[in-house]
Amino acid sequence: MSRALKVRVSAAKMLTPVVRELTLEPCTGPLPGFSAGSHVQVHLPGNARNAYSLTSDPSDSLHYRIAVRLQEASRGGSHYLHRHVEVGDTLQISPPANLFALHSTASLHILIAGGIGITPFMAHIAELERRQANFELHYLYRPGLSDAYVQPLQQRLGSRLHTYSCRPDLSKILRDRPLGSHVYTCGPQPLIDAVQQQAKALGWPRVRVHWEAFKGATPGQAFDLQLLRSGQRLRVGADQSLLEALESAGLQIPNLCRGGVCGQCVTRHVRGEIEHRDSFLSPSEQAEFLMPCVSRGCGPCVSLDL
């Protein structure tokens, strides 16, 4: 895995009462380039890492920008980035990785954002404008709360921006679109599910539907962990993910999304009851494997082939 980057917070501002934007600059050397739709993992106290989309223009090699929504029921990562991090502080981040790239041959890009799901689209829009590509943004938000960037977007996009304060009629957005259309959605899971269902109902094949969920690990009950190859025994705390517990013990598990979708951290489980929370494995695969970034034991002990 690539080494972590050290960055300094060069600016911070509240975009809405619950969304804080952080601008990051490198402490040494240049920042790695990134493609639109990329995210970075921000290292947080307690060995936790949260993934955030880069909202900055991919052609800007001097800064990265992220926008963090304060999550009330979370394990504290967003709270830390809202309340404790200040301008001048340094952070460790992983290099950018992209699981939500633009489709290279699409001739019309339909972007559907829900709330803080606007973040990857900010980079997409910069890239699409540079390519002079045909695109439109459908942005669903709660006015005054989760409407980050809406004013600059109105000026920038004009009639290409469609805003909604409640769930739009997705069949209107997806019906009778020309060949070459691709749809991208990012936001709360119910929105992603609805876009997928509507696309399917209108005969869209899966390859035209792109999505990114930004759920991370959520707490559960504590459990014991047995690693069969190394013979180690670990304890996974209630607020800790299984992956974080493995990393605390010095294991290096490949990972990209830390949200149960990319499939990188797949691990074989041998004994113990598992609560699967990923969106990657099929039910038959889950009988043998789990995604430690989000899934956890729901009994007293789990044994892994590690």
Partner 1 sequence: MTDRHSAAPDRLHSLPRYRQPHPREAASRHIVVMQSAAACASFAGELQQPLVLNEQNSNFGARLHQVLGSATVGSHLYIMGDEAFVWRIHAQARAAGMEDDEIDITRSIVGQRLVYCVHCGLTQVCGPEPLMTCVRCRVGLEVREHFSRRLGAYLGVCTNPDQPFAGVRP
**How far apart are CB 256 and partner 1 at their closest, in Å?**
9
Q: Which one, 180 or 300, has the nearer CB to partner 1?
A: 180
Total count of residues recorded for the chain: 306
Residue 57 amino acid letter: D
Q: Which one, 184 or 223, has the nearer CB to partner 1?
A: 184
Q: What is the 3-state secondary structure (H, E, C) of 115-177?
A: HHHHHHHHHHHHHHHHHCCCEEEEEECCCCCCCCCHHHHHHHHHHHEEEECCCCCHHHHHCCC
Q: Which one, 158 or 203, has the nearer CB to partner 1?
A: 203
**How far apart are CB 207 and partner 1 at their closest, in Å?**
5
Q: For residues 147 and 159, what is the distance between their CA atoms, to the nearest angstrom?
A: 18
Q: Which one, 151 or 171, has the nearer CB to partner 1?
A: 171
**How far apart are CB 175 and partner 1 at their closest, in Å?**
8
Sign of torsion, CA 152 155 158 163? positive
Q: Which one, 223 or 289, has the nearer CB to partner 1?
A: 289
**How far apart are CB 53 and partner 1 at their closest, in Å?**
11
Q: For residues 128 and 185, what is the distance between their CA atoms, to the nearest angstrom?
A: 16
Residues in contact with 274: Cβ distance below 8 Å, sequence separation at least 6, in sequence order: 286, 290, 295, 296, 297, 298, 302
**How far apart are CB 259 and partner 1 at their closest, in Å?**
9
Helix, strand or coil, per DSSP, at residue 187? coil
Q: Which one, 105 or 155, has the nearer CB to partner 1?
A: 105
Residues found near partner 1 in the complex (CB under 8 A): 99-100, 105, 107, 174-181, 200, 202-208, 210-212, 257, 261-262, 279
**How far apart are CB 203 and partner 1 at their closest, in Å?**
3
